[in-house]
Amino acid sequence: MTSYKARGNIRSHIILGLWSLVVLFPLWIMVINSFKDRLSIYQNPFALPQVWNVSNYLAVLRDGDFLGYFKNSFTAVLLSLAILLIVSAFAGYALANMRGPVSRGLYFFFIAGMMVPIKIGSIKIIEIIRSLGLLNTVWSLIPIYVAMGIPVGVFILTEFIRQIPRELTEAGIIDGAGSLRVFTLIIAPLLRPALSMVAIYHLVPFWNDLWFPLIFITEDRSKTVLLGVTRLFGQYQTDWSKVLAVLTLSAVPVIGLYLFMSRQFIRGLTAGAVKG
């Protein structure tokens, strides 16, 4: 039995190791080529640079408006995640404690949002954003990202809260606490793994989104990082070294946040956050 378990662990480690190589290889290529000049990339894109050239990063930070693009992306993603987590947590708490057909109907209404891609309504969404006066501003992205994330956020947090013993909630009510106080003092501290999971799950698609910035924003001052990268693409020639430098810089916040919250993320995966 022990040897069988050991062989299973070896196989799982081999599979995970191979998968890690598949995931890390493109990142490795992106980083090493960001330190090369334009011609060196075409000569041998898989080799280490003979001279580690930081001029690409300096040019991006000095000549381009990368910091402005970064600020726009950071503002849109941070506010979207904050609103998403707050709304999803309150909705999940209400749905987890409500009983009856209305609660089930609302829950399945949120779940249905996971099955409908929001991009199919782009034309109508543009009309709504225009009527709100948000076109060509970074604020136009926030309601869209919140709407994109609420179905998954409500699903995860509702199922997570249902795993919390009801005795904790009942003890707070017996002590005279209202629903809001029970949520903020008892439930919310227990939600950190699930909230981290929801945040990391949506961080990457929000940060890497190009579709909605492309159709909402035309003014240069309001562009996001990925939309700003398109300025480096020419009709006949593209400076790939600078493109890869921008992409490397834009990947740092995502990787850093994941490393910072990875323990909470794993706890959220293993603590019943995705149980049906």
pLDDT per residue over 187-235, tens digit each?
A: 888 888 888 889 888 988 899 898 999 999 988 888 898 888 877 665 4
Q: Is residue 106's pLDDT more than 50?
A: yes
Question: With bands split at pLDDT 50, 70 and 90, how would you rate the model's confidence at 88?
Answer: very high
CB 69 within 8 A of CB 228: yes
Task: State mean pLDDT over 74-82.
Answer: 94
Domain range summary for the chain, segments of one domain joined by +: 1-53, 64-270
- Percentage of residues in the chain having pLDDT higher than 90: 18
Residue 276 has pLDDT above 60, yes or no: no
The tens digit of pLDDT for each residue in 18-76 reads 988 888 888 888 889 888 887 788 888 888 888 888 888 888 887 767 888 889 999 99
pLDDT at 274: 42
Q: How far is CA 228 from CA 1, 14, 19, 65, in A?
A: 57, 39, 31, 8
Lookup: tokens for 34: 């960001």
Residue 236, pLDDT score: 45
Fold topology of 64-270 = MetI-like fold (1.10.3720)
> What pLDDT sits at residue 265?
64
Q: 199: closest CA among 271, 258, 139, 266?
A: 258
Strand partners, 238: 233
pTM of the predicted protein model: 0.81
